[in-house]
Structure 1
Amino acid sequence: MSLKMCDESKPVDGEVNDNKYFSKTAATDAEVTFEHRSAPPETRLYKKRWVIVFLFSLYSLCNSYQWIQYGIINNIFMRFYGVDSFTIDWMSMIYMLTYIPLIFPVAWLLDKKGLRVIALVAAALNCTGTWIKVASARPDLFPVTFLGQFTCSVAQVFILGMPSRIASVWFGSEEVSTACSIGVFGNQLGIAIGFLVPPILVPNVDDLDELAAHIRVMFYITAGVATFLFVLVVIVFQERPDIPPTHAQAAARRISPENYSYTASIHRLLRNKAFILLVITYGLNVGCFYAVSTLLNRMIIEHYPGEEVNAGRIGLTIVIAGMVGSLICGIWLDRSKTYKQTTLAVYLMSLVGMVLYAFTLDLGHLWVVFITAGTLGFFMTGYLPLGFEFAVELTFPESEGTSSGLLNCSAQVFGIIFTICQGKIMDSFNTLAGNLFLCAFLLIGTIITGADCSILIYLGICSSLIVYRAYP
């Protein structure tokens, strides 16, 4: 059943307090039709839905801010803790690495325990990690600060799969893409603040005691915000509205959880060729964004020494432009439903933006870098909600939490690979070579996005034959 055939809403599911999970495979078209003919269930949209999604966005913001807070002042933390740049890169990559093994058990918990439990665990882990970092503001305590970052990275696993679930459980059929974009918006805004604030709070001073004081202030501010948001989640965050927002969500509450198999859902997704192609292309695009974000300080400092603050501002420009792109794409999808066409267009423009950024970085004019970085961010970061919504379109009637988990897992894998490879290429050659490395993979992703499975299989066979003939 295609999403375009469903007038009620986007496909929805979600764990509720009475553990009645909606398995879309269990609800047949005949049952839904019968339900509509007899007595349509009462539906209602609550104003609190906006409080829920904005509260989620806030603690997602606090967590994603910490992802990049070390990398954007890479050179400063290298000197403070006495470690090399690759070690500081792992302060960002640990977010990616932790996600890969934990996404499946966390997605299972989201299905079984519901939104409130997952929100509480995420906010608690994030708060704990920030206070561990407060105790690590000494040059000999790098393992402690890494432990704090690891704890926050575990919290991220509980956060990334929630936007689509919140949107489907709380919002009406014409608001799902917009609500999902708002959920992603918080994560992006956190990254933007992570680019902007650390270079301001932690200046590149020579005295290590003074530097430690600046770092401690930054950690205390983060811990205070995380604690406040944890308390808000405990008090405010609600599992679901009393009356469902859509007829499909009403049907979800009447389906027994025994009808849903998480393992079977994953198997069905892995056999969906169109979805697997999306998993690959999403991973390539977002993995490139992760690599650019993690290595941005090194790129800027190489060509513009002493410009740590402007490196942060360039990162801010990338993400702010991306947030605008995300919201525009979310609103456009709600109205047009042109998933593949929009995804392909944005992917192609991400490639164009990356090429422009690569060839203008070393021109010696920071204002040019700001413009090209903003162009790159508008399309590359704006692609994030497109991937989630296109996945829902391709995988109906599977759980949005499971499909988004697989998308994010792909992004983390490619993010680690691209960050390591680009960093090594930059060390061996220059930043242009490293950025062209990413351009090559964005080109591959664009081709895959625009091609059918049959064409890709044909190209794969032809490539294999050419290689075989050249090297028998």
Structure 2
Amino acid sequence: MTQKDFTRGNGLLSSAEPVTPKIGIDDEGSRSSIAGSVMDDLAIAAPRIKYEVSSTRWIILGMFVIYSASNSMQWTQYAIIQDIVVKYYGVSNIAVSWTSMIYMLTYVPLIFPGSWLLDKTNLRVTTIIGSFGTCLGAWLKVFSVPQDMFWLGFMGQTVVAISQVFILNVPPRLAAVWFGADQVSSACSVGVFGNQLGVAVGFVLPPILVRASGTIEEIAADFRLMFYLVAGFTSVLFVFILLFFKAAPPNPPSAAADLGNSLDSNFLLSLKKLITNRNYVLLLISYGLNVGAFYAISTLLNQVILTYYPGANADAGRIGLVIVVAGMAGSVLCGLILDKTHRFKETTLSVYVASVIGMLIFTFTLDCGYIGVVYLSSILLGFFMTGYLPVGFEFASEVTYPEPEGTTSGILNAVVQVFGILTTLLYEWMLGSVGDRWANLTLCALLAAGAAITAAIRSDLRRQAAQNNHKG
């Protein structure tokens, strides 16, 4: 790989002077051993190279956060007002649930070409594609307001769902490309924060904009306003991304990022190494159980809350907001802790166990008769359960380094979608068959199993080792 204009202690390193060789990995040799060899070369060259972070990195991250939010805010757009959608369009509850689950279903088969595209192109290309799809899907829903056009709204929802393929696996990749070693975990947590921000808006906005007690004409007008607002917002955002979003900074921000750039990745070989990595496979299962439980609760929150608090449509949305906002705080705090301590396994396991406790408290306070208590238990649940998201991402990047972060997080999210669909279907069936108490206890049991699996993961921090090798 040719390095351009790196700052030396005594001047600039000419773009004609190679620092690290470009490496092709097309055989069955160990990528890790090759990585170690390259890191030795980087360590030798360390006195000559000063890695610098770009001053625009936070702007790029900010654009991604808003872009991610514009997609995820549409995830529960129908589900959080399920009773209104059923009444207005004359469709079944399961049809409305599928407007949320379609996000999970489309992701699984498309994440592999999506990860391959991110690996072979760059962040700018995939971000433009995803932003355009999010905008297109939002405009399709604008024309789905007539009561016989639910199918068109579902089509628009599907287009938006497909576009998330170019979002969910990006935070660890963007953090690694743009941020230094002492900020990468925090940057990843902020990137995940964007998805959570959108989910929060998606919980609270539809119940405010669409009146549950309105006439058919009033509900139609409310739907039209909501769809136009989202379509307009995503259109403006698409233009901004087209004009200002960049693929990468001029120079790598860290030795780990430099090594990642210097390796020619083989997508199929990366897949093979990932699925034979014991720690990564265990993390896939534990991460899937945690986030699958979150998906189930989020999709059916309206139904669960209205069971005990009839007419509390707005409260269902606000409780969803509380869960996600608390999770945002948890995400950022966990990211800061990881950057300061680099105790990835300990942090992951602690957050996971706290998620189990939070789910138990939520389960046994749901029927207390005081909705304010449900708000409080939702804060605890959200802080740890959704706060776990970036922690899992970063732990995965550590135990799989130097495999591409886009591929690592892509497979992680694909497994999450499978768990999400199965858990949501199970949760919905149990709500109708045995009630919410047993349904929620089942989620508690799944989370407990996930915590036990997390405890079995070895703390093999490969990315930290590479960075420390460079410093040495």
State TM-score, norm by structure 2.
Answer: 0.89
Q: Distance in 2 between matches of 1:443 and 1:308?
A: 31
Task: Give the secondary structure class of the aligned counterpart of 2:49.
Answer: coil
Task: Give the secondary structure class of the aligned counterpart of 2:449.
Answer: helix
Asked if 1:191 corresponds to 2:199, the answer is yes
Deviations 1:412-452 (A, max 9, x none): 11111111111111111211121112111111111111236
Q: Is the 8 A contact 1:42 1:243 kept in 2?
A: no
The match for 2:335 is 330
Q: Which runs of 5+ in 2 are unaligned?
A: 1-21, 26-30, 459-472
Q: Is the 8 A contact 1:22 1:254 kept in 2?
A: no
Deviations 1:395-414 (A, max 9, x none): 12211111111111111111
Asked if 1:374 corresponds to 2:379, the answer is yes
Aligned pair count reads 431
Task: Give the secondary structure class of the aligned counterpart of 1:297.
Answer: helix
Asked if 1:353 corresponds to 2:361, the answer is no
Cα distance, 1:318 vs. partner?
0.3
Asked if 1:402 corresponds to 2:407, the answer is yes
Q: Distance in 2 between matches of 1:87 and 1:40?
A: 61
Deviations 1:159-216 (A, max 9, x none): 1011111101110110000000010001001101111111000011341111010000
Asked if 1:430 corresponds to 2:435, the answer is yes
Q: Distance in 1 between matches of 2:167 and 2:65?
A: 9
Deviates more, 1:320-329 or 1:206-215: 206-215
Out of 159, 181, 190, the residue aligned to residue 151 of structure 1 is 159
Out of 175, 178, 183, the residue aligned to residue 167 of structure 1 is 175
- C-alpha RMSD of the superposition: 1.6
Cα distance, 1:218 vs. partner?
0.2
Alignment of 1:117-156 (within 5 A): 117-156=125-164
Q: Is the 8 A contact 1:99 1:153 kept in 2?
A: yes
Alignment of 1:33-44 (within 5 A): 33-38=40-45, 40-44=48-52
Q: Which runs of 5+ in 1 are unaligned?
A: 1-19, 454-472
Q: Is the 8 A contact 2:38 2:259 kept in 1?
A: no
Q: Is the 8 A contact 2:260 2:402 kept in 1?
A: no
Alignment of 1:52-71 (within 5 A): 52-71=60-79
The match for 2:111 is 103
Asked if 1:227 corresponds to 2:227, the answer is no
Q: Distance in 1 between matches of 2:227 and 2:85?
A: 13
Cα distance, 1:29 vs. partner?
2.6
Task: Give the secondary structure class of the aligned counterpart of 1:414.
Answer: helix
State TM-score, norm by structure 1.
Answer: 0.89
Q: Distance in 2 between matches of 1:116 and 1:376?
A: 35
Cα distance, 1:91 vs. partner?
0.4
Cα distance, 1:25 vs. partner?
4.8
The match for 1:11 is none
Q: Distance in 2 between matches of 1:418 and 1:252?
A: 35
Alignment of 1:10-29 (within 5 A): 25=32, 27-29=34-36
Closer/same/farther in 2, CA of residues 398 and 251 from structure 1, 3 Å limit: closer
Deviates more, 1:427-436 or 1:227-236: 427-436
The match for 1:303 is 308
The match for 1:30 is 37
Closer/same/farther in 2, CA of residues 95 and 337 from structure 1, 3 Å limit: same
Cα distance, 1:43 vs. partner?
2.3
The match for 1:209 is 217
Q: Is the 8 A contact 2:35 2:402 kept in 1?
A: no
Out of 57, 76, 82, the residue aligned to residue 49 of structure 1 is 57
Q: Distance in 1 between matches of 2:346 and 2:35?
A: 30
The match for 1:386 is 391
Closer/same/farther in 2, CA of residues 417 and 436 from structure 1, 3 Å limit: same
Q: Distance in 1 between matches of 2:260 and 2:414?
A: 27
Asked if 1:439 corresponds to 2:449, the answer is no
Letter in 2 for 1:111: D
Q: Distance in 2 between matches of 1:31 and 1:21?
A: 9
Q: Distance in 1 between matches of 2:377 and 2:360?
A: 9
Q: Distance in 2 between matches of 1:60 and 1:412?
A: 17
